[in-house]
Structure 1
Amino acid sequence: MERQKGVAGCSREFSLESAVQEAEELGTLLSCSFGPGGRAALVQQPTGQLTVTRCGWAVLKAVYEDIQEPPNPIRRILLECAGKIENCLGDGVKCFIFMLSALLKHVQQLKGSRSRLITEFSRLQMSVAQLTFLEYGTAAVADHCCKITSTFFHTRFPVSVSLSLEQVFHKWLSRYLTRDCDVISTLHHLYKNFAVLCVHQQLGSRSVCDCHVVAGFLVSRPAFNLCNPGPHVINVLLFGDDSDGALDVIDVECEVNSFLNEVSDDVPTLLLTSHILSDLMLFSLRRKKVVVLHGVPQAEAEYVSSLLQRNVPIEVKSAIEGTLECTWLGLLEVNHLVLCGPTETLSREYASSCLGAIRLLLMTAKHRTLVKAGGWFERTLNFKLISKLEPIYQRQSVFSVTSRAELLIRHQQYRNLKEEGDNIEKLSSEISLLSCCDSEKELVSVAQALLCTDRDVVLAIAGSLLAVPHKLDKSPWCGHRQAFESLAFKAQIIQHVISAAVQILRIGSMVNISKASKTFPNQ
């Protein structure tokens, strides 16, 4: 009996109305930090740590301490979908929440069978997923990445901070994205090893303007016995993951003794290991005039080992980055990104944003079609969808309406269509500005993928598209700068919005079936 009460309580909790309320709650939470005119949010995590950020996913993680398993099933679905967008796209969580909230509102007003809506939305989801976009040549990738990441940083930080961050990030990125490189593989390499290739630190007397790029690799440990900087043969002792304590001091000493037997006195040698050596081992190595780097993080040791060539001398010298004593290794084709901030929280936010920019580029770098930011894509796509439908005022006669409330709704829908029609000249002129990028052709393909036999469903999607530009109406986009977004990135957000709506509708339909079976039990 108690279990049945719990199921009934969950059924009452999961409804389309409650889904709209949850989406609106999340949208209200994120709206203050949306767009270039948004404000940074100061939120306190469950651990007591303060976070200053404008990243939508970071705000959600900080506010909802039970983000992995929230008690509310609808909130769980919304947060899981937002997490997938952050992991797949690197950005777009706020746009996703705004569009999904608007779409659920429109669906709530639609009449008819929920199974029909689920079928139509599922078909549209598959249609958008099958879209293909034009790809860039390797020579144009650097300019393409700069435009996308510039817009990305301007939505995360004030203008002065974003300009400094994008400048140092583009400088660091351009050293890897050469003309002959494999762009996707290079970006995967940077994303996988970002924690190793980036140093972020708190420097109270220095600002973000002091961020810079260092050619070579910085090991986050000082070297012992480094009396004469210069070429050294580097040997790395890797013992694997010793998290279970399988290795002891004797094992390490055996490896070091074996290494000492092979050391040549002719060439200066440096030993790099992730283990902390005993004083006896350090003394033995000093007698052999071996430079020691011990206690190096496992990830750094493995990365250095993967780039070394056997018995090839490499430049080694001591270095100081802010308050951090480290060792510089002259590894070819390696560049270190050094991010500085007045506080640890801000420097960590700078590093998190740079990692998000790489994740965004991984999804969009190979697609060459760019569209203007600031709601241009959503407004234009909305117009194209509406223009492909017959006006509601012609499709259904107002004389067939039997209630005053329904008549008012029809008139409001007609006024909305008329307002969109009044923007034809403006939208056409904006489309012509990007005709060289084939944006017109790509937009038509997206609009065609969103069309289905049910006009009400298409109108609901078209209405949800306007949620983003309405949030940006009072926010000038990056001042005099031209901001761009990838069209493939925007299409991916639409796909996630439709997918989340289908998931909510399906679970809601199952809940309704469960309620009906309890109301009318089999005799």
Structure 2
Amino acid sequence: MKGVQPAPLGALVQVAEALEDVVRRCVGPRGGQVFFTKDTGEALITREGRRILTALQLDHPVARALVGCVSAHCVATGDGAKSFILLLAALLRGIRATGGSPVAGWRSSGQTDPCGRLEARRSACQLLSFQTQVLDAVVKEHVAPHATSLFSHTSPAEARRALRLLLEAFFRGRAGQVHCGLLAEMACDFYHRWNCERDRVGTLRMIRDHFPELHTSVTGFPTSKSRILQGLVLHRDLTVYCPAEGPTKAAVLHTALQPLLTEADSTLIISSSHQFHGWGTWVAGQVEQNVASLENLQVKLLLSAVKQTDLVLYHAKKAGMSVVECLDMEELSLFCRLSGVLPLTDLADLVDNAHVASVTFCQPVVLGSRRYTHVGIPEGRDFLPHCLVLCGPAEGLTNQCVSAFGDAIRVMQRVCEPVRCQHRHMGKRGNINLPSSLEKSPSSQNETEMGTMKITAIISQDIPGVLKDSYMGLEWPTHATKRENILVENRYTPDLNISIQGHDSAETTVGGGQKTSDMTASVKENLFYSNTLIEPGAVLPAGGAFEFLLHHYLLKYTSRTHCPDTQAACRLVAEALLSLPRQVYAHSGTGGHFLKVYTSFVSRIQSGEPARPVSLGPEGLESVACKYDLLVSVLQCLGRLLSVDAIIHTTALRVADQAREEDEDEDDLSVRAPRLCQH
């Protein structure tokens, strides 16, 4: 078919390497900037990976799909666009080097596969199985124990320093060496001023969702002029300003205070001057009454989403009320969420105190060349609202600082969240399906039957045992714990409900008199904690610690398994992981520096010392959760790319379909024309 072409592995490698050549220049703390020029003369200078990739004019459909995967990953985690491309290109090169499959020498016997599609699909299945069956276990058992927690410090100064090291390493790769310290200190101060320690995940999620309303960009000033303001900056000037000392009351309006004389789709007919004056008197009386109702509630600030009439502004100023008009609905929604007030949509609710909020102050503020409204919001619900003023000498640099700061909030939120193991083969209602191989081994299981209910458990012995995976022949050594563990075939999620039912009675005992309800609760608790892959706040030293650790333990794991597919997948991912620190240390100017750092790091691990690579510059920290999410996203994207059989160019098909429709229309006209002439 015209417009359809196969998707060989070589084409995927070429696309990935082309994007790799673009982003590799700005990887790491010593990476440079990328300069873009447009036909309109506009210039763009940035080192943000996602901004660079989205600014490219890509014609190849695989390249556009790949950039879409990178953008989706960055939206979720806030970082990793350049590392995504480097790691994906390294994996594709490794697969091509083995003939299209991680298993060297494998071929589809008796079949013609000129483009390597069957081998590529097999590679996709192997890598996805590797993620669920090997990667989680290696990260949990070997990589995570080397990490430290940001929240384990007893001293507030030490906790603040650890958070600053994490943010400084992030901004060093996004904004360069010049502004990384300033932005990191500002982000750390912003985190603590919001009192995020009380509810880290909830507060950071709210800041992330409303970040466009919580910052103000100012162009024409140095970045050092950026600052944090308490309260909220509304991006509108005060229409009416009546200064008030101390805390005041505010109301949010979604409607006009001047009532409408007629409803929609109706016409007002005035036949005499007496009716006209009567109409004006009635409207003025209603406005004065509405403003008086607000004054009785001690309201001194009106935040309106619509434009109010001059009559309303006159009575508001007469009553000493400040008015801000035409505010965005997002800003009003954030104000209502922070202050806990309900917006006023019906004038009949003016007597309700639920529509009145308390503000500590209201004053105009000049930021750059524009004037805004600065409103103070008291502390409530375990947080104290603050906003940002981000400055830059040029528009491009200002946007780069804003984007980096917003992504830093996403990174901090991801660090504060635990990473759960992914689950598969679960029942429709969340029931646990045990592996069939385990159910057939009565010597290592304890089965209790009650009516139609059967509970299967694994009893850990004093002698270390081996748990075998039924998918890829994996073997994992387990340590003796002398307690009863429920073995789930894949994973458990927080929303999993375990239900145990029997026909004989509603309350059943197991073993030594333990009730099923108590046992169910203990099973839930054990599964919940055993399912945690990475604890909240887990960090490793920056400079390749995660890659070196995972590379080392994946290669070590290949000697424990006898499955060729598993061994090949482990070697493939392990070698691809080194492409990230190799590119970072390549900017140091010494060709053997990477090898020196790697050998020193491995020797430290083998001697039992803390995993801390020799860095090129100031020390920093990296999130283990973000690194894990990056690797999982790359494996998922690679699995989708390798599963593509053909590339269909929709432009050619659309032109052909359009030509076919035109021919059909001409045929219809030739048939109908004689009939029209006859009539």
- TM more than 0.5: yes
Encode CA deviations 1:181-204: one digit per residue, 9 max, x unaligned.
Answer: 11110110100111111111112x
Q: 1:119 to 1:219 in 2, by over 3 A?
A: closer
Encode CA deviations 1:348-405: one digit per residue, 9 max, x unaligned.
Answer: 2111111111112222223333222222322332233223335xxxxxxxxxxxxxxx
Query: Is the contact made by 1:223 and 1:327 (CA closer than 8 Å) also made in structure 2?
Result: yes
Q: Which among 12, 17, 22 is matched to residue 29 of structure 1?
A: 22
Query: Is the contact made by 1:138 and 1:183 (CA closer than 8 Å) also made in structure 2?
Result: no
Structure 1 residue 327: Cα displacement: 2.1
2:325 and 2:647 mapped to 1: Cα distance?
59
- Does the alignment pair 1:148 with 2:317? no
Please state whether the residue corresponding to 1:481 is helix, strand or coil: coil
Query: Is the contact made by 1:452 and 1:458 (CA closer than 8 Å) also made in structure 2?
Result: no
Q: 1:471 to 1:137 in 2, by over 3 A?
A: closer
Match of 2:408 in 1: 357
2:286 and 2:628 mapped to 1: Cα distance?
55
Encode CA deviations 1:25-79: one digit per residue, 9 max, x unaligned.
Answer: 0000001111111111122468765332111110011113x6xxxx523213311
- Does the alignment pair 1:233 with 2:249? yes
Please state whether the residue corresponding to 2:295 is helix, strand or coil: coil
Q: Which amino acid aligns with 1:118?
A: A
1:368 and 1:265 mapped to 2: Cα distance?
50
Please state whether the residue corresponding to 1:112 is helix, strand or coil: coil
Structure 1 residue 311: Cα displacement: 5.9
- Does the alignment pair 1:383 with 2:380? no
Query: Is the contact made by 2:48 and 2:174 (CA closer than 8 Å) also made in structure 1?
Result: yes
Map 1:114-513; keep pairs closer than 5 Å: 114=119, 115-127=121-133, 128=135, 140=153, 144-179=162-197, 181-203=198-220, 206-230=221-245, 231-239=247-255, 259-264=290-295, 267=298, 269-308=300-339, 310=356, 312=358, 314-332=360-378, 333-366=384-417, 367-389=536-558, 453-476=565-588, 480-508=617-645
Please state whether the residue corresponding to 1:473 is helix, strand or coil: helix
Structure 1 residue 330: Cα displacement: 1.9
Match of 2:2 in 1: 5
Which structure would you say has the larger RCO, counting Cα contacts within 8 Å and 6 or more residues apart?
A: 1
What is the RMSD computed on CA atoms of the aligned residues? 3.3
Identity fraction in percent? 22
1:362 and 1:378 mapped to 2: Cα distance?
22
- Does the alignment pair 1:61 with 2:54? yes
Map 1:63-82; keep pairs closer than 5 Å: 63-64=56-57, 71-82=59-70
1:255 and 1:235 mapped to 2: Cα distance?
18
Q: 1:197 to 1:452 in 2, by over 3 A?
A: farther
Q: 1:265 to 1:475 in 2, by over 3 A?
A: same
2:623 and 2:69 mapped to 1: Cα distance?
21
Gaps of 5+ in 2: 99-104, 108-118, 154-158, 257-262, 269-282, 342-355, 379-383, 418-535, 589-613, 649-679
Q: Which amino acid aligns with 2:544?
A: G
Structure 1 residue 19: Cα displacement: 0.3
Q: 1:253 to 1:200 in 2, by over 3 A?
A: farther
Query: Is the contact made by 1:45 and 1:62 (CA closer than 8 Å) also made in structure 2?
Result: no
Gaps of 5+ in 1: 241-245, 391-447, 512-523
Encode CA deviations 1:224-243: one digit per residue, 9 max, x unaligned.
Answer: 44243323321110259xxx
Query: Is the contact made by 2:359 and 2:375 (CA closer than 8 Å) also made in structure 1?
Result: no
1:339 and 1:255 mapped to 2: Cα distance?
44
Query: Is the contact made by 2:166 and 2:621 (CA closer than 8 Å) also made in structure 1?
Result: yes
Q: Which amino acid aligns with 2:191?
A: L
Question: Once structures 1 and 2 are overlaid, which stretch shifts more, 166-175 or 112-121?
Answer: 112-121
How many residues are paired up?
A: 431
Q: Which among 87, 94, 109 is matched to residue 82 of structure 2?
A: 94
Please state whether the residue corresponding to 2:179 is helix, strand or coil: helix
Query: Is the contact made by 1:268 and 1:289 (CA closer than 8 Å) also made in structure 2?
Result: no
Question: Once structures 1 and 2 are overlaid, which stretch shifts more, 226-235 or 99-108?
Answer: 226-235
Structure 1 residue 154: Cα displacement: 0.4
Please state whether the residue corresponding to 1:472 is helix, strand or coil: helix
Structure 1 residue 270: Cα displacement: 1.4
Question: Once structures 1 and 2 are overlaid, which stretch shifts more, 252-261 or 160-169?
Answer: 252-261
Query: Is the contact made by 1:339 and 1:347 (CA closer than 8 Å) also made in structure 2?
Result: yes
1:79 and 1:385 mapped to 2: Cα distance?
28
Structure 1 residue 509: Cα displacement: 8.8
Structure 1 residue 124: Cα displacement: 1.1
Q: 1:63 to 1:509 in 2, by over 3 A?
A: closer
Structure 1 residue 273: Cα displacement: 0.6
Match of 1:112 in 2: 106
Q: 1:233 to 1:24 in 2, by over 3 A?
A: same
Question: Once structures 1 and 2 are overlaid, which stretch shifts more, 228-237 or 152-161?
Answer: 228-237
Query: Is the contact made by 2:49 and 2:81 (CA closer than 8 Å) also made in structure 1?
Result: yes
Q: Which amino acid aligns with 2:581?
A: P
Question: Once structures 1 and 2 are overlaid, which stretch shifts more, 85-94 or 308-317?
Answer: 308-317
Encode CA deviations 1:314-341: one digit per residue, 9 max, x unaligned.
Answer: 3222222232312222212211111111
1:503 and 1:311 mapped to 2: Cα distance?
51
Query: Is the contact made by 1:386 and 1:459 (CA closer than 8 Å) also made in structure 2?
Result: yes
Q: Which amino acid aligns with 2:36?
A: V
Please state whether the residue corresponding to 1:43 is helix, strand or coil: strand
Query: Is the contact made by 1:213 and 1:338 (CA closer than 8 Å) also made in structure 2?
Result: yes
TM-score (norm 1): 0.74
Query: Is the contact made by 2:175 and 2:400 (CA closer than 8 Å) also made in structure 1?
Result: no
